[in-house]
Amino acid sequence: ATERTFSIIKPDATRRNLTGAVTKMLEDAGLRVVASKRIQMTKEQAEGFYAVHKERPFFNDLVSFMISGPVVVQVLEGENAVAKNREVMGATNPANADEGTIRKVHAESIEANSVHGSDSLENAKIEIDYFFKPEEIVG
Ligand code: CMP
């Protein structure tokens, strides 16, 4: 089925001028960018977005990293978009990511791993709603 998922191009990637390179890998995988904006996340926004991880030992570092520079938040649309996006991203830890995936090609570390993508259709909707108004998404 046609789905929408949520993607973030993280500060390590925007810093290295990889917004286009990462977006091209998403598009080449068959995903369409139906919304996109470059933002500087606030601490409150990052803490809210990653609230499910707040008891994890890496939470504070993760929030600091995500506000260390601009990010590009995007809504991606396509057939099985959630799974397709996860496939093209590769494993969370770039050391475990398959050849040709975004994280294998571009990520610096498990924290500075270049992209975020929703892990389920249910979370995709929550994450899209967290950053986008309906009228900002043009399919
Ligand atoms: P993301 O998909 O954005 O969701 C949570 C993020 O926490 C994850 O990608 C990683 O970049 C980051 N992170 C940092 N350290 C760890 C860790 N030890 N295990 C899992 N995720 C981590």
**ipTM of this predicted structure:** 0.94
Tens digit of each residue's pLDDT (9 = 90 or more) over 29-62: 999 999 999 999 999 999 999 999 999 999 999 9
From first CA to last CA, the distance across the chain in angstroms is 15
The answer to the question of whether 103 is labelled as a binding residue is yes
Helix segments in 16-136, DSSP class H: 19-28, 43-49, 59-66, 81-89, 102-106, 121-131
Residue 61, CA atoms < 13 Å, CB-side half-sphere: 7
Q: pLDDT of 62-94, one tens digit each?
A: 999 999 999 999 999 999 999 999 999 999 999
- Going from the C-alpha of 96 to that of each of 26, 101, 116, the distances in angstroms are 19, 11, 16
pLDDT of residue 105: 98
pLDDT range class, residue 111, cuts 50, 70, 90:
very high
Please say whether the beta carbons of 66 and 46 come within 8 A.
yes
Average pLDDT over residues 21-26: 98
Strand order across the beta sheet in which 32-39 lies: 32-39, 71-79, 2-9, 115-117
What is the reported pLDDT for 11?
99
Q: Is 110 in the pocket of ligand 1 (CB under 6 A)?
A: yes
Query: What pLDDT is stored for residue 81 in this prediction?
Result: 98
% of residues, the chain, pLDDT over 90:
100
Q: Is 108 in the pocket of ligand 1 (CB under 6 A)?
A: no
Is 116 labeled as catalytic in the residue annotation?
yes
Name the residue of 55, 58, 93, 103 to mutate for ligand 1: max ligand atoms within 8 A of Cβ.
Answer: 58
* Calpha distance 135→139 (Å, rounded): 10
CA 39 to ligand 1 centroid distance, Å: 20
The H or E element that residue 7 is part of is: strand 2-9
